[in-house]
Structure 1
Amino acid sequence: MKKAFETGIQQAKNAIENAEYILLGGGAGLSAAAGIEYGGKRFKENFASFIEKYRLTDMYSSGFYPFPTQEERWAYWAKHILINRFEPGATKLYRDLLRLVNGKNYFVMTTNVDSQFEKSGFAFDKVFEVQGNYGFLQCSTGCHNKVYYNESLVKEMVEKTVGCKIPSELVPTCPVCGGNMDPHLRINQYFVQDEKWYEWNQSYNTFLKESGGKKLVFLELGVGFNTPGIIRYPFEQMTYHNKNATLIRLNKENPEGAKENIDKTIAFTEDMQEVVSAIME
């Protein structure tokens, strides 16, 4: 195992060193590996009263819980957003990833919504958060094409939460239609793709066009099968169609890939921080 790991690390080093372009794909497993976990001790410590009252089991499934009132719903979501978006600073794993690709022509496609790439120093215009961002709100029915930064509101909600409820006057309402607001997350067909979203989408497509046929490394990080059509499957397909591409996959649970790419894929199931640190040595 150690020999195979060392061989894989050397192959990954060579691929990254020789790459003309690097496309990073960040999934939920990346932030979990960085310490932003949605279950276990971290969940229990932050949501004890919600667990007792609603029998919640983890932060991911809790996002779909049918809270009886908007006051209760936003008491939960404010805490969720605070501890995953605003409280954490840049984590070591994300900072190390930046060091790994710094000086290269890179772009980031991520389904994560916690802004860790931005916090860690990745260029703002090179990070496409395709599924949204915890730091913003949107109309729950997408009645207009705008999102709203929510940091001060979220912090006030958490500060004034009593008995798993926020004061009614803090419940956000849409400034256009007067309806409910949602966190800016792709949870249904009403997800708002504002002007900035389309700019990032265009930048992503431009990067793909420019890197076509070049020495391109797909660095896939903690991407499972929750939304495989956004990162995992496209990375597989683009690796297959580019003879100069290499896919580096860091994934403890799902390292397997398309058999057609077996000679172009370097997969690791070890701790992600360990792998990234070893590649940088």
Structure 2
Amino acid sequence: MYYFNPDMLMMNGSKMSFEEKISVLREQLASADAVVIGAGSGLSTAAGYTYSGDRFRKYFADFEAKYGFKDMYSGGFYPYETMEEFWGYWCRYIWINRYAPVPSDLYGRLLELVKDKDYFVLTTNVDHCFQRSGFDKMRLFYTQGDYGLFQSCSPGGASKGRTYDNEEMIRKMVLSEGYRIGDHGELIVPESAEISMRVPSDLVPVCPDDGNLMTTNLRCDETFVEDEGWHQAAERYQDFLRRHKRLRVLYLELGVGMNTPVIIKFPFWKKTEQNPNAFYACVNLGEAGCSREIADRSVCIDQGIGEVIGALGV
């Protein structure tokens, strides 16, 4: 059974304070043989990857004015009439969320927290912030894709199981719209520049292996490509779990909601239940909780991730 209850772990029959919960989490981090981080969209949001408001309007005011949507997600699903305009939208979306600088140092601070531990990261995020912030590539499993990869829109034959790095092509697209790219990858609107909402037809990406149009390597339907790198990361993750099956493992869940609980949340609960030496920690503003079965080996912190990491001294 699931509870949205940040006060499951009690101390002397009373609710634990924030400081007491931080103390529990600090002790579990210190004593753990291994840490498995489960990261959802809430972590990237806490790091500054907001998809609406000022950040959306800064880069997509022209699309908002023309089509009326108010956030990047909605724009990503809009049925544009041409591929030139589709990629006119998506090239900006991909650049600012995958190649431009990470908006804050939150991922770097998280790395400081676990860098001396035996750790592994399981994430549904597709912005590659972990690797860009210094996490070991061999300790990461991105289950839902990567903004930095293309795939065929109809993978099969020579394109089956294949993805394609897109940085060079996305760079050409955003430059073709009139943007400049700064020394650190920031997207810049030159003074008096007229920004286009379309890319030239010759920049619409076509798969080199099957001749079909390319699309983003994001899990949205059955055509999602799990390439060789994906399968290698999945095997490394399973091997990590096998090697630590009976050890003191801290399952540290950060910003994972109930959109896709079967990927991180429910497996973390199950693995904690199965291993009497494991401990589960959930940090999620407004959605912190755990199952009844592991309530005595859990701490649920209903606070912002940045605040929690700061309270841990990082």
TM-score, L = length of structure 1:
0.96
**Corresponding residue SS for 2:35:** strand
**Corresponding residue SS for 1:84:** helix
Query: Bigger CA drift: 216-225 or 264-273?
Result: 264-273
**Residue of structure 1 aligned with 2:73, choices 29, 45, 60:** 60
CA distance in 2, matches of 1:235, 1:64: 31
Alpha carbon RMSD of aligned pairs, Å?
1.6
Matched with 2:46 is 33
**Corresponding residue SS for 1:198:** helix
1:61, CA displacement in angstroms?
2.5
Matched with 1:48 is 61
**Residue of structure 1 aligned with 2:28, choices 15, 20, 24:** 15
Matched with 2:278 is 245
Matched with 2:110 is 97
CA distance in 2, matches of 1:228, 1:160: 40
Matched with 2:289 is 256
**Residue of structure 1 aligned with 2:218, choices 175, 182, 185:** 185
Asked whether the equivalents of residues 49 and 103 of structure 2 are also in contact (C-alpha less than 8 Å), the reply is no
CA distance in 2, matches of 1:229, 1:146: 26
CA distance in 1, matches of 2:205, 2:234: 28
Asked whether the equivalents of residues 288 and 302 of structure 2 are also in contact (C-alpha less than 8 Å), the reply is yes
1:159 aligns with 2:175: yes
Matched with 2:96 is 83
**Corresponding residue SS for 1:136:** strand
1:91, CA displacement in angstroms?
3.4
Which structure 1 residue ranges, 4+ long, deviate > 6 Å from structure 2?
Answer: none
Asked whether the equivalents of residues 252 and 269 of structure 1 are also in contact (C-alpha less than 8 Å), the reply is yes
CA distance in 2, matches of 1:91, 1:170: 32
Q: Give CA deviations for 1:173-199 in whole Å, capped at 9, x if unaligned.
A: 111221111111111111111111111
**Corresponding residue SS for 1:22:** strand
Asked whether the equivalents of residues 91 and 120 of structure 1 are also in contact (C-alpha less than 8 Å), the reply is no
Matched with 2:165 is 149
Matched with 1:234 is 267
Asked whether the equivalents of residues 281 and 299 of structure 2 are also in contact (C-alpha less than 8 Å), the reply is yes
Residues paired across the two proteins, number: 281
Q: Give CA deviations for 1:185-231 in whole Å, capped at 9, x if unaligned.
A: 11111111111111100000001111112100011010011111111
Structure 1 residue runs of 5 or longer lacking an equivalent are none
1:112 aligns with 2:145: no
Q: Give CA deviations for 1:244-264 in whole Å, capped at 9, x if unaligned.
A: 111111101211221222111
Query: Bigger CA drift: 141-150 or 211-220?
Result: 141-150
1:4, CA displacement in angstroms?
0.5
- 1:118-133 residue pairs with structure 2 within 5 A? 118-133=131-146
Sequence identity, in percent?
40
Matched with 2:189 is none
Larger radius of gyration: 2
**Corresponding residue SS for 2:312:** helix
**Residue of structure 2 aligned with 1:175, choices 208, 224, 229:** 208
TM-score, L = length of structure 2:
0.86
CA distance in 2, matches of 1:142, 1:24: 32
Structure 2 residue runs of 5 or longer lacking an equivalent are 1-6, 8-14, 178-194
CA distance in 2, matches of 1:274, 1:66: 39
CA distance in 1, matches of 2:18, 2:131: 30
CA distance in 1, matches of 2:134, 2:263: 23
1:3, CA displacement in angstroms?
6.4
Asked whether the equivalents of residues 90 and 119 of structure 1 are also in contact (C-alpha less than 8 Å), the reply is no
Q: Give CA deviations for 1:92-113 in whole Å, capped at 9, x if unaligned.
A: 1111111111111100001111
Query: Bigger CA drift: 72-81 or 155-164?
Result: 155-164
CA distance in 2, matches of 1:195, 1:152: 21
Query: Bigger CA drift: 11-20 or 184-193?
Result: 184-193
**Residue of structure 2 aligned with 1:220, choices 243, 253, 268:** 253
- Pair 100,90 (structure 1): closer, same or farther in 2 beyond 3 Å: farther
CA distance in 2, matches of 1:196, 1:163: 35
Asked whether the equivalents of residues 74 and 171 of structure 1 are also in contact (C-alpha less than 8 Å), the reply is yes
In structure 1, give the amino acid aligned to 2:83.
Answer: Q
